[in-house]
Amino acid sequence: MKVPFTKMHGLGNSYIYIDGFQFELEEQTIPKLAQEVSNVNTGIGSDGLIIVMPSSQADVRMRIFNKDGSEAMNCGNGLRCVAKFAFEHGYVNTEDFKIEAKSGVVDATVHTDEQGQTVNSVSVDMGPPILEREQIPMTTEHGGPNDQVIAEPFEVDEEKLVATAVSMGNPHVIFYEDNIKDAPVSTLGPKVTSDQRFPEGVNVEFVEVVNSREIIFRVWERGSGITQACGTGACAAVVSSVLNGFVKKGEEVTVHLDGGDLWISWLHNHHVLMRGPAKTVVEGVFFSEVT
Ligand SMILES: N[C@@H](CCC[C@H](N)C(=O)O)C(=O)O
């Protein structure tokens, strides 16, 4: 089957975008298609698959599938790219609109060039973080269901780490490092992501605090492994850095990711605001063997 696609990325976190306004995929084939397109040797090469489609609750809907075919609840870099896609394809006709993700509806604003046609960057109000242990979700052997998980001892593979857990609609655990170059992303990332303390798995982030306005971030994503950037992860890292007293609520923090920078504030109304780029790489037709 021939599947028309657009490859887009937010700071190198790339997905294959399928236009669900024009092209309908069979539900049972989607996880396999996500694995197929993501393969860098036999597919296109990406961190997963995103479908941009009509919504009954918002102006446009995003469905995101990781590289391993699992469907995720949310994707920050994906939301910015979906906003650009929807605006440039004429599926929305204002610069402010609503996007539905599995985790809920968010407000997006596209920032266009002088001609008002090409989207260079996008702001998304990601809503409030979820901090209660049971809702992250995390098991309750080390704390009550409604407790927050801030700087909690976390042993893995005989390493004594200190964990803060935050959900941005999808689960994240944050560990602080004095020097990000020493962060055990590729060794502990795959172990922590499937640790039994996180019943639905977790995205694993390592963070170095540069100063009260800047942090450096690396990630092992659930279902995709190391990626160049993770938008929800960067939001979770800023929330975690406020909770740990490294940065201030209400102030914009620059998050340096492997693929570039995001600007994020945890506002006094508890919502997390994220601003950053969205880019189109290529459009084409994929010859799928699974659909
Ligand atoms: N890259 C994303 C997050 C994608 C989903 C994540 N791997 C999960 O399983 O929760 C982002 O930019 O937020």
Domains and CATH numbers, the chain: 2-126+277-287 (3.10.310.10), 133-270 (3.10.310.10)
Q: Residue 242: which of 271, 220, 201, 203 has the closest Cα?
A: 271
Q: Report d(CA 213, CA 206) in Å as an integer.
A: 17
Tell me the best of 16, 70, 74, 200 to mutate to test the pocket of ligand 1, counting ligand atoms within 8 Å of each CB and taking the most. 74
In residues, how long is the chain? 291
Q: Report d(CA 137, CA 139) in Å as an integer.
A: 7
pLDDT of amino acid 144: 97
pLDDT of amino acid 291: 76
Quick check: CB of 121 below 6 Å from ligand 1? Answer: no
Amino acid making up residue 72: A
Quick check: CB of 231 below 6 Å from ligand 1? Answer: yes
pLDDT of amino acid 284: 98
Q: Residue 80: which of 268, 251, 232, 284 has the closest Cα?
A: 232
In the structure encoding, which two tokens stand for residue 89, read together? 């394809």
Helical H segments across 145-193, by residue range: 185-193
Measured in Å, how far apart are the chain's first and last C-alpha atoms? Answer: 6
Phi, psi values for residue 97, rounded to 5°: -155, 175
Q: Residue 249: which of 277, 271, 233 has the closest Cα?
A: 271
The DSSP element (H or E) to which 174 belongs, if any, is: strand 171-176
In three-state secondary structure terms, 87 is helix
Omega before 199 cis (within 30°)?
Answer: no
Query: 3 CA to middle of ligand 1, Å?
Result: 23
Quick check: CB of 185 below 6 Å from ligand 1? Answer: no
Query: 2 CA to middle of ligand 1, Å?
Result: 27
Q: Are 260 and 270 in contact (CB under 8 A)?
A: no
The beta-strand segments (E) located in 21-140 are 48-53, 60-66, 71-72, 96-101, 104-112, 119-125
> pLDDT in tens for each of the 291 residues of the chain?
999 999 999 999 999 999 999 999 999 999 999 999 999 999 999 999 999 999 999 999 999 999 999 999 999 999 999 999 999 999 999 999 999 999 999 999 999 998 988 999 999 999 999 999 999 999 999 999 999 999 999 999 999 999 999 999 999 999 999 999 999 999 999 999 999 999 999 999 999 999 999 999 999 999 999 999 999 999 999 999 999 999 999 999 999 999 999 999 999 999 999 999 999 999 999 999 997
In the structure encoding, which two tokens stand for residue 101, read together? 């993700």
Quick check: CB of 228 below 6 Å from ligand 1? Answer: no
pLDDT of amino acid 96: 98
Residue with tokens 């990601």: 126
Binding annotation for substrate: 13, 66, 76-77, 170, 203, 221-222, 231-232
CA-based torsion, 202, 206, 212, 213: positive or negative: negative
| DSSP assigned state of 202 | -
Q: Report d(CA 217, CA 30) in Å as an integer.
A: 30
pLDDT of amino acid 148: 98
Complex ipTM > 0.90: yes
pLDDT of amino acid 246: 98
Q: Report d(CA 84, CA 79) in Å as an integer.
A: 9
Q: Report d(CA 164, CA 172) in Å as an integer.
A: 8
Q: Report d(CA 229, CA 208) in Å as an integer.
A: 15
Q: Report d(CA 233, CA 166) in Å as an integer.
A: 9
> So which residues are the catalytic ones?
75, 230
